[in-house]
Structure 1
């Protein structure tokens, strides 16, 4: 384990490792994106919802004041009044609360897709370690979060200050204006500050999202040893797989060798090739390759052919062409003439 920790994480994360991180809830999700989307959605909604919200709020307040002299001050009446006010205010604020829920869920789905996992909420005793907890306060991640927070507060503060400073000259004219104009001026200035701040947050959210994605990619990187271990888990031990392949090849060779005694002829290259052919006029449209081999395997085929008194014919060009065919494959048309001559020779010897 110490060797793995010393190795450099230079390899890109595999699909399996990405899925493991995702199942644990470790995904590239930026809080700044959620904040920017919520603020933008709230401002846009207030822009369209305020003409509906404000008159109804005025009507609610006016109704309470108009009936203030008729209300009896006792627990029952205060409770009824409080529930009535709460119900009407809840109806006015319901669209805003619904918007917050929808935008909050949408901002998360846009970044990481649909993910539902309880891993982050599982109890972990290592989190109770005070030493590990203290390390989090002085980690690189904590320093980055502090820098991002300071940058956000600083940029938003500068934008807000400049906006208010530019409007300061117009505020002097409010001295001779009615209170309604003062309220309208304050509302317009506040809206301007909020919209400009929202633009700054959107830009910061974009950079933060790219940084979080990059940071997660760096965190998911693997060492060469980790990739080897994962390959063993998914595909098995390479030595075991090689052993299985060796056994499979050995079994295939044995099956092939058991077919050699059924051959009509063995075509050879005098140096290192042997190909066994079989032809049954009743069941085959053309002769078929039932066994082939090179070097040591070729010598074994010839040995079995001699033991079973199978004719061997030496023909270099035909042997090379037949060796390219697969076991069980029929002889192609371009070799019909050459193979027919060989079989005719063999049948003549037998007769």
Structure 2
């Protein structure tokens, strides 16, 4: 998409982009680092178990070349020879192979971590395209690989010349040594030269690993449009989300307005805030907020209350406190119970008076008991 739109990849890759890349098998990998690990630890394994392997080979050859007449004509004796071969070489060879396998796994997962992807293993027609193959051969990555190959040749060739010069007299001395010490000594020389040559690749790995990490991060970078598209796909279109939130808010308001006719009282600010309260005498507990709102919603609550003959009481401090401390469907805080109880008592007495069952209640106190920490 970046190529089509002409936009530059300037944005850092998102977590989703990195996760999708790993699923496709696109992780930072350094072949040089894996190769270096395998070669160095192979040399170390040869130093550790090379003498045992050389001694085992010497004993096997001696056993196989010194068969007596009966063993030569008895086919069952072959199994005894194989048993000696197994006992001589199994442990050192098993440890040798185990070290190489561990080095291969660690070396190839050290950069990028362990990752297996069926998508990367699946055949792709694009990999068989001659034009894309030619493009890869002539691209910048191919130039980097050429430089690495030349540098490896120079380093390995120079190290080989140095190591041959350093071990030259020891190599010549092998011709006058006796068996089996000559074989063991030869393996030791070979292992040390192998280790020296392998260590030269550390220089290549030290350059290649950071480069591969940088190149992988660069390939994952995104254009600004890609970031916006991903945000829309994952989080949703902001316009659609705003429309959904508006619809949900309208539905919530309609449900809230349906509960206002059942309220016992509506306390107001008197113009900016409105809170509808209901007290169920059959249930133990505090009064409950069934509706609340500010400005236009507050006006709608008052209109519904007037239309359904729900008493409206002006108490600015109590209304603001209820609005800011209580959600719809929740009971009022215990600290406001006394103030609300006075309002409800006034309303119930007023209802009885209107029905001719009692005397007119005294006016509601404007200074209701509201704790300082609940005043707004």
- TM-score normalized with structure 1 length: 0.82
**Which residue of the partner structure matches residue 155 of structure 1?**
155
2-side partners of 1:58 and 1:186: how far apart? Answer: 13
Instruction: Tell me, yes or no, if the aligned pair for 2:10 and 2:223 is still in contact at 8 Å.
Output: yes
Stretch of structure 1 that moved more, 137-146 or 191-200: 191-200
Residue 281 of structure 1 aligns to a residue in which SS?
A: coil
Residue 200 of structure 2 aligns to a residue in which SS?
A: helix
CA RMSD of aligned residues (A): 3.6
Superposed, which structure 2 residues align to 1:234-273 within 5 Å?
234-273=234-273
How far is 1:250 from its partner? 1.4
How many residue pairs get matched?
341
Superposed, which structure 2 residues align to 1:194-343 within 5 Å?
194-324=194-324, 325-343=326-344
- TM-score normalized with structure 2 length: 0.77
How far is 1:109 from its partner? 4.2
Could you list the per-position Cα deviations for residues 145-184 of structure 1 after superposition, in whole angstroms to 9, with x for gaps in the alignment? 222222233233333333444556xx39968983559988
Matched, 1:59 2:59: yes
Superposed, which structure 2 residues align to 1:84-163 within 5 Å?
96-163=96-163
Q: Provide closer, same or farther for how the CA distance between residues 301 and 42 of structure 1 changes in structure 2, counting only shifts above 3 A.
A: same
**Which residue of the partner structure matches residue 32 of structure 1?**
32
**Which residue of the partner structure matches residue 368 of structure 2?**
none
How far is 1:35 from its partner? 1.2
Q: Provide closer, same or farther for how the CA distance between residues 167 and 42 of structure 1 changes in structure 2, counting only shifts above 3 A.
A: closer
Could you list the per-position Cα deviations for residues 39-63 of structure 1 after superposition, in whole angstroms to 9, with x for gaps in the alignment? 1221122112222211232234445
How far is 1:189 from its partner? 5.1
Stretch of structure 1 that moved more, 224-233 or 58-67: 58-67
Residue 328 of structure 2 aligns to a residue in which SS?
A: coil
Instruction: Tell me, yes or no, if the aligned pair for 1:292 and 1:298 is still in contact at 8 Å.
Output: yes
Q: Provide closer, same or farther for how the CA distance between residues 33 and 130 of structure 1 changes in structure 2, counting only shifts above 3 A.
A: same
Q: Provide closer, same or farther for how the CA distance between residues 177 and 219 of structure 1 changes in structure 2, counting only shifts above 3 A.
A: closer
2-side partners of 1:175 and 1:277: how far apart? Answer: 105
Instruction: Tell me, yes or no, if the aligned pair for 2:46 and 2:191 is still in contact at 8 Å.
Output: no
1-side partners of 2:231 and 2:309: how far apart? Answer: 50
Instruction: Tell me, yes or no, if the aligned pair for 2:50 and 2:184 is still in contact at 8 Å.
Output: no
More helix per residue: 1
Structure 2 gaps of 5+ residues are 353-376
Q: Provide closer, same or farther for how the CA distance between residues 167 and 211 of structure 1 changes in structure 2, counting only shifts above 3 A.
A: same
Instruction: Tell me, yes or no, if the aligned pair for 2:10 and 2:221 is still in contact at 8 Å.
Output: yes
Q: Provide closer, same or farther for how the CA distance between residues 186 and 94 of structure 1 changes in structure 2, counting only shifts above 3 A.
A: closer
Structure 1 gaps of 5+ residues are none
